[in-house]
Structure 1
Amino acid sequence: MLLEFIVQNGEEAKQAEEMGADRVELVSAISEGGLTPSYGTMQQVFESVSIPVQVMIRPHSFHYCYSDDDLDIVRKDIQSLIDLGGKRIVFGVLHHDGTVHETALQALIERYPQLDMTFHKAFDEIPSQQDAYQTLSKYKHNVKRILTSGGKKDCLSGKEPLHELVKMERETNGPAIMPGGGLHVGNIADVHQTVNAEQYHFGKAVRLHDSFSYPFDDEKINRIKDVIQKGKH
């Protein structure tokens, strides 16, 4: 079982690793849903931890339909990441009709074949997640996982579609489904019992006062680990 936590800097990344996180997602502007962190922040985090760091690559928070200028920024940010020795990104790009912008995705993978990508919660805005899963599966050597709440407002209300997506993952050996969005100590048992995923993504719910302004809460994290271990199928 793998747990991923959101972090905003090197200090938080170190604390997450000490608390038992298996991987972190590095973001800036979490109040905007997460944007690309600065070069300096990326460097600081890479130097702070030994666990994998997935870096958010998102040029703005308005939508997931990117112009050529937006995609130029995306390429430059990815190049900065690679220059620092990284290869792990969190990214998503859609057409205006909400489907995966396969051309843009493929172009990035061809340009940076070493990428290890999480396709982020843009996935929850797609009309047919099952069709989108099949599309992303074509790139599973780079699109390693999909962060999603099953197309619903949170993982609890999306637990049934998440269960279906996990079934697709196991039947096709496609990208891993990583439930994330609204997960917390009070609902992880219910979600895990239905979904039975292999990895979960947590944000403010593993922090003191349920706020990104505060450090991680070891009691909450230990309770989550305990629930997941007990709920293993």
Structure 2
Amino acid sequence: MEIEVIVQNEQDARIAEKAGADRLELVATMEEGGLTPNLRVIEQVLASVNVPVFVMVRPHSRHFCYRGADLEVIKETLSVVTNCQADGIVFGCLNEKKEVDVPVLETVLSLKGDLKMTFHRAFDEVMDQTAAYQTLCRYSSRIERILTSGGAEKAGDALDQLEHLIALSKEARGPAIMVGSGLHPQTFTAIHKRLKAEAYHFGSGVRIHQSFNKTIDPSPIEWLKEIETD
């Protein structure tokens, strides 16, 4: 079981790594759901930890339909992240029909080089998650995982759908399902007992006062890692 933790800066990254996080998602502007961090922060975080760091590639929070100037910004970001030698990117794109935008996705995949990739929670806005998963399966050698709450605001409210997606991923041997959104140590044991997912994604649930305005609390991460080894 992998534990991924959202980090916003070098201090977050150091605390999360020391507490036992398996992977870090580096983002900025969490009040807008997480956008691309600036170059200086990316460099600082990459220099401060040894665990894999996946950098958010998201130019704004208005939508996930990228054209024109948005796409040019994404291309520039990919160049920066590649040059910084990050481990991977976090990206998602949809078309006007709320389907995976295949042309944009293929553009990003062609430019990301050896960077690994997580398809982010744009997946939770698609009209049909089964169809969207099948689309992403076509790129399973280049997309490692999909971050999803099963289409609900919080993962705990969509356990049936998450079970379906996890079963689908095993059957298709496609991208792994990483469960995220609204996860807290207080409710995690019951969720994991039911889902037995390969990976979980934590944000405010492992922060002081459960707030992105506060730093990471190492205790919940340490506890989660103890569950993994029990």
What TM bracket, shorter-length normalisation? Answer: over 0.9
**Letter of the 1:108 counterpart:** V
Taking the TM superposition and a 5 Å limit, the aligned residue runs for 1:84-163 are 84-163=84-163
> For the aligned residues, what is the CA RMSD?
1.3
Q: Which residue of 2 aligns with 1:184?
A: 184
**Letter of the 2:198 counterpart:** E
For residues 17 and 87 of structure 1, the distance between their equivalents in structure 2, rounded to whole angstroms, comes to 15
Map Cα deviations across residues 59-111 of structure 1 (whole Å, 9 max, x no partner): 00001111221011000001001111225100000001110001110122123
- Determine helix, strand or coil for the equivalent of 1:82: helix
Map Cα deviations across residues 15-67 of structure 1 (whole Å, 9 max, x no partner): 11001000000000011000000011111111000000010000000011112
Alpha-carbon distance, 1:213 to partner? 2.0
Q: Which residue of 2 aligns with 1:42?
A: 42
- Determine helix, strand or coil for the equivalent of 2:147: strand
Alpha-carbon distance, 1:229 to partner? 4.9
Unaligned runs of 5+ in 1: none
For residues 183 and 229 of structure 1, the distance between their equivalents in structure 2, rounded to whole angstroms, comes to 19
2:19–2:219 CA contact under 8 A, matched in 1: no
Q: Which residue of 2 aligns with 1:209?
A: 209
TM-score (norm: length of structure 2): 0.96
Question: Relative CO higher for 1 or 2, CA cutoff 8 Å, sep ≥ 6?
Answer: 2
**Letter of the 1:86 counterpart:** A
Q: Which residue of 1 aligns with 2:195?
A: 195
Between the two proteins, what is the percent identity of the paired residues? 42
Unaligned runs of 5+ in 2: none
Q: How many residues are aligned here?
A: 230
TM-score (norm: length of structure 1): 0.95
2:119–2:146 CA contact under 8 A, matched in 1: yes
- Determine helix, strand or coil for the equivalent of 1:187: helix
Map Cα deviations across residues 188-229 of structure 1 (whole Å, 9 max, x no partner): 112112211011000011111111222222332233334455
**Letter of the 1:137 counterpart:** C
1:8–1:27 CA contact under 8 A, matched in 2: yes
- Determine helix, strand or coil for the equivalent of 1:186: helix
**Letter of the 2:161 counterpart:** P
User: Does 21-30 or 84-93 show the bigger shift?
Assistant: 84-93
The verdict on how the C-alpha distance between 1:86 and 1:225 changes in structure 2, with shifts beyond 3 A counting, is closer
1:6–1:27 CA contact under 8 A, matched in 2: yes
For residues 21 and 111 of structure 1, the distance between their equivalents in structure 2, rounded to whole angstroms, comes to 28
For residues 96 and 228 of structure 1, the distance between their equivalents in structure 2, rounded to whole angstroms, comes to 40
1:192–1:228 CA contact under 8 A, matched in 2: no
